[in-house]
Amino acid sequence: MKGHDESGHTTSWWKQAWREGRNFLALLWPKTGREHGYFWTLAIPLVTIFILWRWSIAPMATVWGDVGTWVAGLATLGGLIYASLSLQGQTKQREAEALRHIEDEQNRRLAHAREVAVSSRWTEDKSKPTRMRVELELINASPYPIDGVVLLIPSGGMETEDYHNIEMVIGTVLPGERIPEKSDWVDNADIPFSLLIDCVQVRFTDAWGTHWLRGPGHLKEMSEPARTC
């Protein structure tokens, strides 16, 4: 099977097939490195089919129809498959970026919540050893204000029904603000002094509307805000 080149000379069928195949591949050549995998997945089987097609003993116009129509059809099909795979890859990339954005936002909020802290210093009542007074300092080292701030001070015996938290309502604490507080005398019978040091906690709502319980060495997200009245 022979064809003719631009000067009118006869060319072998495989040279003509190579030229047409090369033009076909140029239509699908990937523009970026990410697309090379999709390209070769499509190109190898399509080129194989095209060469086998050109190798037919009978004239293609007789058996297969017009060559240009088939080439255009294959190019269109390959382009559609390539576009579909490329779109699928872009969709997965956008979903991954959205997930990373959500995770980054959550980590940022956690970091800001950990910058809220409360320190305590307990003083015993010499006339009644079970009574103590605590001096507190609340610190908001985050770059955002916190609202609904309530300090929780343990009071009562842990082994009795009287055990509860004394709640000191602070309200809003601005970024970088330090607030000193001092409690009244509280009864802390049966509570070891070592536990009292780590018992004072603070509840607050951050700038994103998330409610937190913060204490020495722990941070917990809460479903509801603290009571402020």
Of 46, 80, 111, the residue at which a domain comes to its end is 111
Of 80, 111, 142, the residue at which a domain comes to its end is 111
- For the question of whether the overall pTM of this predicted structure is more than 0.85, the answer is no
Q: Both 120 and 153 in a single domain?
A: yes
Domain encompassing residue 19: 2-111
Of 70, 94, 111, the residue at which a domain comes to its end is 111
End-to-end CA distance of the chain: 95
Q: 171's torsion region: left (phi>0), alpha (psi -120 to 50) or beta?
A: left
Q: Both 42 and 88 in a single domain?
A: yes
Do 168 and 183 contact (CB within 8 A), yes or no?
yes
Report the range out of 24-38, 54-68, 76-90, 110-124 with the highest average pLDDT. Answer: 110-124
Do 18 and 58 contact (CB within 8 A), yes or no?
no
Q: What is the pLDDT of residue 2?
A: 46
* Residue 21 CB partners (closer than 8 Å, separation 6+): 47, 50, 51
Mean pLDDT of 113-126: 84
Q: Both 150 and 164 in a single domain?
A: yes
pLDDT tens per residue, range 30-69 = 555 555 555 666 666 666 666 666 555 445 455 455 555 6
Bridge partners of 62, per DSSP, are: none
Range in 15-29, 99-113, 115-129 the model is least confident about? 15-29
Does residue 213 surpass a pLDDT of 90? yes
Q: Provide the token pair at 127.
A: 């006339």
How many CA atoms lie less than 13 Å away from 147 in the CB half-sphere? Answer: 7
pLDDT tens per residue, range 173-211 = 999 999 988 766 666 655 555 555 557 889 999 999 999
Do 210 and 197 contact (CB within 8 A), yes or no?
no
Do 206 and 144 contact (CB within 8 A), yes or no?
yes
Nearest one of 222, 125, 116 to 170, comparing CA atoms:
116
- Pairing of the two strands 186-187 and 201-205: unpaired
When divided into structural domains, the chain yields a total of: 2
Q: Both 94 and 130 in a single domain?
A: no
Mean pLDDT of 73-95: 74
Q: Both 153 and 196 in a single domain?
A: yes
Mean pLDDT of 221-228: 87
Question: Is 229 a member of any domain?
Answer: no
